[in-house]
Structure 1
């Protein structure tokens, strides 16, 4: 039992670290923060490993990214926004597309509310498009990584 928990914690730590690296690799400053490739790692984790892993990697990676990138005011907000996004994106089977859509809406809504309180409605509205595009790029990249990883491991593709 202990060996399994150690393996799972190690996997989560590696996925979280790789997701943070993706965030730094494709970082674009915006008026209220930053747009990143963090979502690629979150969606890959959620699609491949499920909602439990998605919530942990999404929340912890976003929290630590904000700390390391110099956006401490966003840390707790990102933990909530990306944790929820990872959880919802990890829905499986016929709920898979619904999970992506709900994850995107949840993440964009959390950041919209936080930005409107911190910077006003104008800044919050401007961020809706960049946050939505960040999710679209994230889901495409995450799906491609998931499909590629599955082929490397010799698994059948999930067409749901």
Structure 2
């Protein structure tokens, strides 16, 4: 029975990763250092619904894959770390929820700032990317939360 549970969880996480990547590719807004997407909505939904570990898996894999598919391979490992940590912290529950959401936002935004510096965008380019990452993060959090509420409501019926 435990093997069936693991297979089911792996399948669900693979589907959520694929859906997050598709959602991210559906709307892509170019920026000086990359692009903005709805990828975060899938990450936040997964974290809210399933928890920290699953959020980290879907976050890291979907961030990695969207950069590969969008033609930004230099960002793949940065996205693996930034969105993996984002998904992990967003999945914190109980009294740690608010701290987790703050950390999820901070780590994602800060990692992309540092990634921009490491990739040679300089301080100007790195600072230019902050506002877009803030907007992507919080819009994704909002959409992910609304999807979470809708799914939880549908379960009760």
Please indicate the TM-score interval, normalised by the length of the shorter structure: over 0.9
Contact 1:58–1:83 (CA under 8 A) maintained in structure 2: yes
Aligned to 1:158: none
Does 1:138 find its partner at 2:140?
yes
1:50: Cα distance to partner? 0.3
Aligned pair count reads 155
Q: d(CA) in 1 for partners of 2:124 and 2:139?
A: 24
Aligned to 2:150: 148
TM-score by length of 2: 0.97
TM-score by length of 1: 0.95
Does 1:55 find its partner at 2:56?
yes
Q: d(CA) in 2 for partners of 1:4 and 1:107?
A: 31
1:85-140 CA-to-partner distances (Å, cap 9, x unmatched) read: 00000000121121111100000010001102221010000111100110110110
Give the counterpart of 2:131 among 129, 132, 148.
129
Q: d(CA) in 2 for partners of 1:94 and 1:40?
A: 22
Aligned to 2:6: 5
Q: d(CA) in 2 for partners of 1:103 and 1:26?
A: 22
Secondary structure in structure 2 of the residue aligned to 1:129 = helix
